[in-house]
Amino acid sequence: MATIAKISNGASAASALNYALGQDRPMHEKTEQWLQDHQLERPVELTNCRAVAVGGTNGIDPFIAKEQFHVIRQLHNQTKESNQVLRITQSFALDELNPKVQKDWQKANDLGVELAENLYPNHQSAVYTHLDGKNHVLHNHIIVNKVNLETGKKLREQKGESVQRAREMNDRLASRENWHILEPPKERQTETEKELIAKNEYSYMDDLRERINKSLQDVSVSSYETFKERLSDNGVILSERGQTFSYAFLDANNKQRRARETRLGSDFGRETILHELENRARQNEFRAVEQREPAITPLERDTQQRESEIVSLEQAIEPRKSEALKRESKINRFIDTIKQLAGRVPELTQRVTRKLKQTKEKILEDFERRFSKDMKNYEQEQQKSLEKQANRDVQSEKKPTKDHDRGMSR
């Protein structure tokens, strides 16, 4: 069934959405070759994206979700670049949704959209479906804008509350689909760690995650070197082992600890963090260019920003507007055809009635002709039979019996 693999907060909406759409980003696990081997093609609009299906709630277009999220944050004065989105990863079992069946790509996305609508009906959500993970399992990246559309306030949930709510709703969707409800995937933990968590005592793994998150809170951290230095300031030593990160630190008990990214979760993995840093670097570069431009009044800056947002939205909407016009033209032609057919209904009814009458008359004529022929044949057969019987009777009367012959001889 569908499982909630993880839920986490995202500091930058732009970074989370860029990663989920994956425009101009190569797929993982040699997925490009896998798609070719199985003669599968992504939708035309997603040819250069990691996502194979996209959707959204509350009017969100996944291709311009960054701009739409930004407009709502601006409208409600929630512009601080931290804790902007909630990220939910929803994964599907291979025996329920088959990545080799393209209609299952869209079904996975539809279920993600339904989950987001039920969990956060007053928030914008964008849903991106991927299949470039291990075994090409279909999974959704659901990005939720934390700003409430009605109140303008930020989403506040107790630790663990969002996970519990998501899993309960997800289980209801699975039950409706008649899927088996599986236990959610867990991080690899020792028995000691499990006991500490159960007793609500100190866990060095949680401590390590908090230190890494603290190192990433400052959005000015936009390079690998700066991130590594900030980790060092928080007592964590970062090293690379192949294509993965490994972290080492002294825990609260002054004990040396080491953990690879696979135990911490993908949010703390090399790919995710480097992608986040790369996006921050681009954003910082854009800000630097803005600062070098001549000073303008706050009103002018706000006006220019709004105009830029409108232009971006118009440019993004234009291709869809053209497609909508084409669809409208097809619909109008279809309506005209229906009207023409409706006007011809009486004529068609008369033609059908005449045809049925002609068919009925022909059937009756054929029947009458065959019946007459059969009766004539029957009468002829009867006549022949009577003639044969009469001939036999005549012959019988002419032939003398044996007794009659003997009497005549005496």
Inside any domain, residue 297: no
Inside any domain, residue 365: yes
Q: How many helices (H) and strands (E) does the chain have?
A: 13, 8
CATH number at residue 7: 3.30.930.30
Q: Please give the chain's pLDDT, 410 residues, in tens.
A: 568 867 888 878 888 899 899 888 888 768 889 999 999 999 999 988 999 999 999 999 999 999 999 999 999 998 876 789 999 989 898 889 999 999 999 999 999 999 999 999 999 999 999 998 778 999 999 999 999 999 999 998 876 678 888 989 999 998 898 887 655 444 455 667 667 667 778 888 888 988 998 888 776 788 999 999 999 999 999 998 888 999 999 998 899 999 988 888 767 888 878 877 876 776 566 555 545 555 455 556 566 666 766 776 776 677 777 777 777 777 777 677 677 666 666 777 787 788 878 887 888 888 888 888 888 888 888 888 888 888 887 887 776 655 555 555 44
Inside any domain, residue 336: no
Per-residue pLDDT, 185: 45
Instruction: Give whole-number Cα distances, 159 to 162, 164, 193, 389, in Å.
Output: 7, 10, 19, 111
Per-residue pLDDT, 332: 77
* Residue 64 structural domain: 1-185
Inside any domain, residue 45: yes
Q: How many domains does the chain have?
A: 2
Inside any domain, residue 56: yes
Instruction: Give whole-number Cα distances, 1 to 93, 204, 364, 398, in Å.
Output: 5, 32, 64, 102
Give the Cα separation of 239 and 166 in Å (integer).
34
Inside any domain, residue 301: no
Inside any domain, residue 125: yes
Per-residue pLDDT, 6: 74
Question: How many C-beta neighbours within 10 Å does residue 243 have?
Answer: 9
Q: Which residue, 4, 245, 228, 249, is CA-closest to 116? A: 4
Residues in Cβ contact with 298 at an 8 Å cutoff, skipping those fewer than 6 apart: none
Quote the tokens at residue 1. Answer: 């069934």
Q: Which residue, 188, 229, 236, is CA-closest to 212? A: 236
Inside any domain, residue 223: no
**Structure letter (DSSP) for residue 161:** H
